[in-house]
């Protein structure tokens, strides 16, 4: 699909105290791959336009897609989308976009996902695409976040309890969950050295988050011996 | 015609005596860059001024610091629509560097460590309108904001205030710099909203 | 907004290319690094962007959207290799 098309906000659901997932209906949506994003274009009544990119946080559901938005302090677009954009209203979108930071369901190697904060959105889309398969490669999500209350997609992640082939580890940087044994702090080498996902197993690694987080984690992965072209990154800037 | 987004407004304020049209004010100091931040130690820093006849003069860090210094407080206006009021700088006026330079040039072509370039009329570097700034808010200018030294031409959009400045070429004809050759304005006056070609 | 990846340019590039171009490969003429467009480093100023080699920083291309015009400058080269089916 190329060019802009009109989408409608059909629902807004809560991911955390501040973040929301927007469910958009896009007539004629062609489907998408996990990891792809859309561009969203907003037009004010004086003609001013703003364009932003948001990762799709779930596999396509017919002509419905989902983006998850953290309102930036003093932001121009994200607070509007979270707090003001009315249900039933229209917005222009373009996509699906991107073909590099994607996971295709025919891949067979293990997948290591490393998320920083709201960078979890495209990675959860990959995890959900894997869970939609009856059988598939091992997945591990390392999810770095400040504190447990800031976790997104809690229901989907809690549903993994008891599974070993698809699992999540949390790396809290400020305040840990009750009973967590890992000391709080930024992601360390031992957080990313995981049985089944070592360089010898040649996993595909996807890292998404703020620029400094992505560079820190990608450096660790390459230092561990992962081939740079198997460490795919998406920086929020 | 694009579909209106109900209730969406640009994050801008009514223009006023200090805020040019289309801008909003910020308390932060956003970092914009066309490439990786070059690491330039003051021990190997040098600024070269070249006239249209090829005459050159250059300043090492110690020579720059030995020149008369200005302190100034000014407003900044970025083409990405943020403005920042009352920024405090220290540096050397271009009037000092251009004193006694024999030139008939009309234009200046600015070069930076890291490869960035920009162009502007030479007149906009004269008469107390431009500085080689090395101090911000009382401290050495951080590398991400152009340290050790950047051009500061606050009456034009901030992309003219080249970070990591390394050279000034005086020219008889204009040549477009890095962003100017990608559609940004040759002059860049924020009060006339000269953002892109044709503005 | 210091640096992003080439992925971020998929939207604007879709205005000029008929294929998904962030999956295309580029061999850097500066340092020999082979990377996809999606893995380039992207620096932005407003609606303009510079895509650089992730290893040596050489410019791959520049892109800007001003009103009704999209600017695309491939400067010194580095051929794109675009995967096609069949
Ligand atoms: Zn290179």
With cut-offs at 50, 70 and 90, classify the pLDDT of residue C76.
Answer: low
Q: How far is B2 from chain A (nearest CA, A)?
A: 7
Query: pLDDT tens digits, residue range B138-149?
Result: 999 999 999 999
| Structural domain includes residue B3 | no
Q: Which range (A62-76, A84-98, B13-27, C32-46) has the least confidence?
A: B13-27
Average pLDDT for A27-35: 96
Average pLDDT for A33-41: 97
Verify that A163 and A230 share a domain, yes or no: yes
Query: pLDDT tens digits, residue range C1-21?
Result: 579 999 999 999 998 888 999
Place of tokens 């795919």: A232
For residue A169, the CA-to-ligand 1 centroid distance in Å is: 35
Q: Give the DSSP H/E element, type plus range, for residue C49.
A: strand C48-52
Chain A and chain B share a number of CB contacts under 8 A equal to: 46
Verify that A77 and A157 share a domain, yes or no: no
**What span, in angstroms and rounded, lies between the C-alpha atoms of A208 and A217?**
9
Nearest Cβ partner of C11 from A53, A100, A232? A53
For residue A220, CA distances in Å to A28, A120, A126, B37 come to: 42, 18, 22, 22
Q: Pick the residue from chain B with its C-alpha nearest to A81.
A: B8
With cut-offs at 50, 70 and 90, classify the pLDDT of residue C86.
Answer: very low
Q: In the predicted model, is pLDDT for residue B65 greater than 60?
A: yes
Question: pTM, whole model, 2 decimals?
Answer: 0.91
**What span, in angstroms and rounded, lies between the C-alpha atoms of A121 and A20?**
11
Verify that A15 and A52 share a domain, yes or no: yes
| Structural domain includes residue B80 | yes
Verify that A230 and A190 share a domain, yes or no: yes
| Structural domain includes residue A166 | yes
ipTM, interface predicted TM-score of the complex? 0.89
Verify that A207 and A138 share a domain, yes or no: yes
- The three-state secondary structure class of B57 is strand
Cβ contact, residue pair C66, B183, below 8 Å? yes
Q: How far is A29 from chain B (nearest CA, A)?
A: 18
Name the domain count of chain B. 1
Verify that A168 and A77 share a domain, yes or no: no
Structural domain containing residue B88: 45-192
Verify that A48 and A158 share a domain, yes or no: no
Name the domain count of chain A. 2
Residues of A in contact with B8 (CB under 8 A): 42-44, 50, 80, 84-85
Verify that A78 and A180 share a domain, yes or no: no
Q: In the predicted model, is pLDDT for residue B41 greater than 90?
A: yes
Output B123 or A60, whichever has higher pLDDT. B123
Verify that A124 and A229 share a domain, yes or no: yes
pLDDT at A237: 64
| Structural domain includes residue B112 | yes
Q: Give the DSSP H/E element, type plus range, for residue A224.
A: helix A211-224
Mean pLDDT over all residues of chain A? Answer: 95
pLDDT at C41: 96
Q: Which range (A166-170, C41-45, C71-75) has the least confidence?
A: C71-75
**What span, in angstroms and rounded, lies between the C-alpha atoms of A76 and A86?**
16
| Structural domain includes residue A106 | no
Q: In the predicted model, is pLDDT for residue C77 greater than 70?
A: no
pLDDT at C83: 59
Q: What is the CATH number of the domain that holds A32?
A: 2.40.30.10
Query: pLDDT tens digits, residue range B52-64?
Result: 999 999 999 999 9
Report the percent of chain A where pLDDT is more than 70.
99
Torsion of CA A177, A81, A99, A142, to 10 degrees: 0
Query: pLDDT tens digits, residue range A51-66?
Result: 999 999 999 889 999 9
Query: pLDDT tens digits, residue range B159-196?
Result: 999 999 999 999 999 999 999 999 999 999 999 999 99
For chain A, say whether B9 makes contact (Cβ under 8 Å). yes
Verify that A123 and A222 share a domain, yes or no: yes
With cut-offs at 50, 70 and 90, classify the pLDDT of residue C79.
Answer: very low
| Structural domain includes residue B8 | no
| Structural domain includes residue B12 | no
Q: What is the CATH number of the domain that holds B89?
A: 3.90.420.10
Q: Pick the residue from chain A with its C-alpha nearest to B25.
A: A74
For chain C, say whether A32 makes contact (Cβ under 8 Å). no
Give every CB contact of residue B153 below 8 A, 6+ residues apart in sequence. B120, B124, B125, B129, B130, B160, B161
For chain A, say whether B14 makes contact (Cβ under 8 Å). no
Output the six-digit token pair for A101: 């930071």
For residue A45, CA distances in Å to A16, A69, B7 come to: 31, 23, 8
With cut-offs at 50, 70 and 90, classify the pLDDT of residue B197.
Answer: confident
For residue C73, the CA-to-ligand 1 centroid distance in Å is: 17
Cβ contact, residue pair B9, A44, below 8 Å? yes
Query: pLDDT tens digits, residue range A155-205?
Result: 999 999 999 999 999 999 999 999 889 999 999 999 999 999 999 999 999
Structural domain containing residue A30: 5-97
Cβ contact, residue pair B183, C48, below 8 Å? yes
For residue A230, the CA-to-ligand 1 centroid distance in Å is: 18
| Structural domain includes residue A102 | no
Q: Which of A74, A97, A120 is the last residue of a domain?
A: A97
State which residues have CB under 5 angstroms from ligand 1, the bound ion.
Answer: C 28, 30-31, 33, 53, 55-56, 58
For residue C10, the CA-to-ligand 1 centroid distance in Å is: 21
Average pLDDT for A127-133: 96
pLDDT at C1: 53
Q: Which of A72, A97, A122 is the last residue of a domain?
A: A97
pLDDT at A60: 85
Verify that A77 and A178 share a domain, yes or no: no
**What span, in angstroms and rounded, lies between the C-alpha atoms of A150 and A18?**
8
| Structural domain includes residue A105 | no
pLDDT at C81: 60
pLDDT at B116: 96
Average pLDDT for B119-124: 98
Average pLDDT for A214-236: 95
Q: How far is B37 from chain C (nearest CA, A)?
A: 10
Q: In the predicted model, is pLDDT for residue A17 greater than 60?
A: yes
For residue C27, the CA-to-ligand 1 centroid distance in Å is: 8
Verify that A91 and A119 share a domain, yes or no: no
């Amino acid at each position: 699909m190329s060019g802009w098309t009109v989408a409608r906000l059909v629902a807004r659901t809560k991911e955390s105290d501040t973040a929301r997932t927007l469910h958009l209906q896009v007539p004629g949506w062609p489907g998408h791959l996990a990891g792809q994003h859309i561009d969203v274009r907003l037009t004010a009544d004086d003609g001013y336009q703003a364009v932003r990119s948001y990762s799709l946080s779930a596999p396509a559901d017919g002509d419905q897609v989902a983006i998850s938005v953290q309102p930036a302090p003093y932001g121009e677009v994200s607070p509007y989308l979270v707090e003001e954009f009315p249900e039933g209203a229209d917005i222009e979108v373009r996509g699906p976009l991107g073909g590099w930071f994607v996971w295709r369901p025919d891949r067979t190697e293990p997948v290591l996902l490393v998320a920083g904060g709201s960078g979890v959105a495209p990675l959860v889309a990959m995890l959900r695409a894997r869970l939609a398969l009856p059988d598939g490669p091992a997945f591990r999500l390392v999810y770095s976040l400040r504190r447990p209350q800031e976790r997104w997609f809690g229901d989907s992640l809690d549903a993994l309890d008891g599974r070993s082939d698809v699992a999540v580890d949390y790396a809290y940087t400020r305040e840990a969950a009750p009973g967590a044994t890992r000391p709080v702090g930024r992601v360390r080498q031992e957080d990313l050295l995981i049985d089944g996902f070592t360089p010898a197993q040649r996993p595909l690694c996807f890292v998404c988050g703020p620029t400094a987080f992505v560079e820190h984690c990608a450096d660790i992965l390459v230092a561990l011996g992962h081939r740079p072209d198997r460490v795919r990154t998406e920086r929020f800037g | 015609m694009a579909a209106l987004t109900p209730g969406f407004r640009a994050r801008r304020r009514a223009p006023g005596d200090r805020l040019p049209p289309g801008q909003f004010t910020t308390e932060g100091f956003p970092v914009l860059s066309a490439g990786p931040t070059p690491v330039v130690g003051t021990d190997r820093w040098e600024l070269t001024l070249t006239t249209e006849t090829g005459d050159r003069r250059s300043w090492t860090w110690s020579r720059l610091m030995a020149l008369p210094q200005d302190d100034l407080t000014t407003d900044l206006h970025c083409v990405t629509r943020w403005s920042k009021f009352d920024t405090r700088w220290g540096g050397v006026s271009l009037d000092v560097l251009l004193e006694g330079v024999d030139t008939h040039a009309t234009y200046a072509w600015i070069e930076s460590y890291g490869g960035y370039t920009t162009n502007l009329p030479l007149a906009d570097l004269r008469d107390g309108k431009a500085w080689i700034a090395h101090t911000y808010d009382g401290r050495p200018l951080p590398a991400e904001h152009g340290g050790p030294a950047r051009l500061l031409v606050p009456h034009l959009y901030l992309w003219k205030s080249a970070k990591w400045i390394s050279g000034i070429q005086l020219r008889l004809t204009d040549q477009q710099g890095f962003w100017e050759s990608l559609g940004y304005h040759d002059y860049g006056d924020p009060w006339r909203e000269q953002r892109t070609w044709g503005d | 907004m210091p640096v992003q990846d080439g992925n971020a340019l998929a939207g604007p590039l879709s205005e000029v290319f008929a294929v998904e171009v962030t999956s295309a490969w580029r061999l850097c003429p500066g340092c020999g690094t082979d990377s996809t467009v999606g893995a380039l480093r992207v620096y932005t100023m407003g609606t303009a962007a510079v895509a650089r080699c992730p290893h040596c920083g050489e410019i791959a291309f520049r892109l800007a959207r001003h009103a009704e015009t999209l600017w695309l400058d491939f400067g010194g080269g580095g051929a794109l290799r675009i995967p096609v089916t069949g």
